[in-house]
Chains A and B, each alone.
Chain A
């Protein structure tokens, strides 16, 4: 079985400050890991993905994430928050092989303060 834990259901940062959203996973086999962002009344948009190539993954809108196997973590960071980053962020894991459905974390709502 696989699961995803996102620490902090709500995170607030000031505009220009570092964004750090935490994600830990458990998986019995090497996983594929994803971060998605959801704006109000919209679907999920892919930010970035880890698929066993480079451990530091760069995504859209200045976000990046680092896969750390020893810590079973895949935290999302952005050096400088922008007002437009306010949204809900989901970490997700899928297995290789036939079972490719995503297992999602519970989400982190990011608020950016002016």
Chain B
């Protein structure tokens, strides 16, 4: 079956521009997560959506980062006024309900800020 799909796979943009990253979770998965993977910081949690509940935004590094999930499915992570330190791989994961359900990851979006 289809896994988690992320687009674009690569994004190069200039400092100061806004970017949008898209995630299509596995059908039927109610939970959706965004993580960031960078050389200096490893894998960091950004934001978590569960059903219709308010998202857990505790991992967002600044107010330039935001995310939404429309219709309980597709999610978009937006970074405004990008900085060079935003360069990283952004990974999306989804899972079924229940804390013991494993998260399934997409291949990520590699973001490079010039």
- A residues lining the B interface (CB < 8 Å): 32, 34, 36, 41-46, 49, 51-52, 90, 94-107
**Considering only CB atoms, which chain B residue lies closest to A41 in the complex?**
B107
Q: CB distance A102 to B42 under 8 Å?
A: no
Taking CB atoms and an 8 Å cut-off, the chain B residues in 62-114 that contact chain A are: 91, 93, 95, 99-100, 102-108
- Considering the chains assembled together, what is the distance between the CA atoms of A61 and B33 in angstroms? 26
A45, closest chain B residue (CB): B105
Could you tell me if B104 and A100 are in contact, using CB atoms closer than 8 angstroms? Answer: no
In this complex, what residue of A is CB-closest to B105? A43
- Enumerate B3-61 residues with CB–CB distance to A below 8 Å: 4, 31, 33, 35, 42-43, 45, 48, 50, 56, 59
Q: How far is the CB of B29 from chain A (nearest CB, A)?
A: 12
Instruction: Note all chain A residues with C-beta closer than 8 A to B43.
Output: 90, 102, 104, 107
A100 touches B31 (CB 8 A): yes
Report the interface size for chain B: residues with CB under 8 A from the other chain.
23
Which 5 pairs from chain A and chain B are nearest by CB?
A: A43-B105, A51-B100, A104-B43, A101-B45, A44-B105
Chain B min CB distance to A77 (Å): 20
Please tell me which one of the listed residues A34, A98, A102 contacts residue B45 in the complex, with CB atoms under 8 A apart: A102
B99 touches A42 (CB 8 A): no
Q: Which partner residue on chain A sits nearest B10 by CB separation?
A: A41
Contact across chains for A101 and B56 when beta carbons are under 8 A apart: yes
Q: Of B35, B45, B93, B99, which one neighbours A97 at CB under 8 angstroms?
A: B99
Cβ B107 vs Cβ A43 within 8 A = yes
B103 interface neighbour in A42, A102, A103, Cβ under 8 Å: A102
